[in-house]
Structure 1
């Protein structure tokens, strides 16, 4: 049994996990796919003992990109809404909803250690080896935004990535390489010029 199914049965118990996989398998996705989901689940599994509320973190991991339309500005809101529709409105769902909404700006809403890990999991890709970062992340993001002209994409992508460099810290938990993430972002920005 894969870790997704294992944790789904442990924390949720229903069989509608197939709907989640269908969402992450939509044709407009190139980076925000099941591969991204499963990578975050690997990180969840590796660091699970550090969480105070593992179920809330699991729900946030699974549902944070369950709705993904590159042309929409409401993906996080719609993902949080789908979490509530499919799972419910218990306390863990409410916490997970807050975590998902925190990915809009990838910023902390409080000093919640679980949130720090969750946000860092989502941005772990920034600290990968640059060749993998470029091929498995940056190029895949460009494909997701293929409807935009090169000029529009470069303007938008430059703004987003430059904002990460302006932050005091990209990572909050200290488990990923901050310097490598900054180096990769700088390299990508040079390639966009």
Structure 2
């Protein structure tokens, strides 16, 4: 906690290193099902989170995706978020900035989502042009699992011979998103 900077509307961001992040998420899921200080987020808080994020997907779609992530909750009425951070040995090199080219919308299968909760979120995909999708907005962290088909819209960035799709190119990215079409269909939304 930054001394003196909190107020009544402050939330709690807990930084957890992989692989402990997944254990913490599971512990929180268990705690929400028991009597105690950790509880599910109420409707009013979800609306507040949605308005703050200003995503390009509907509130219903946002809630369907959030419902399975498990990285948020309330503790004694205060909203909290678990933030995933890689271990030092998982960081191979700094992420190089590429050259922005065009906006693009793709459908692709997620092949690897090991760092889907990292910042930026990283989704290795099977696609003719795009090698992976990065998301710099927390809204789309943990949005899809391996084997799922996603629809993503963002800016194509070229780094050498690799093209990646970047979502979250500004604080409030307009016309950029990641949706798990597989999950939405499974939930009966599509």
Query: Which range, TM-score by smaller chain?
Result: under 0.3
Which structure has more strand as a fraction of its residues? 2
* Rg larger for: 2
Given the two structures, how large is their TM-score scaled by the length of structure 2?
0.28
| Larger helix proportion of the pair | 1
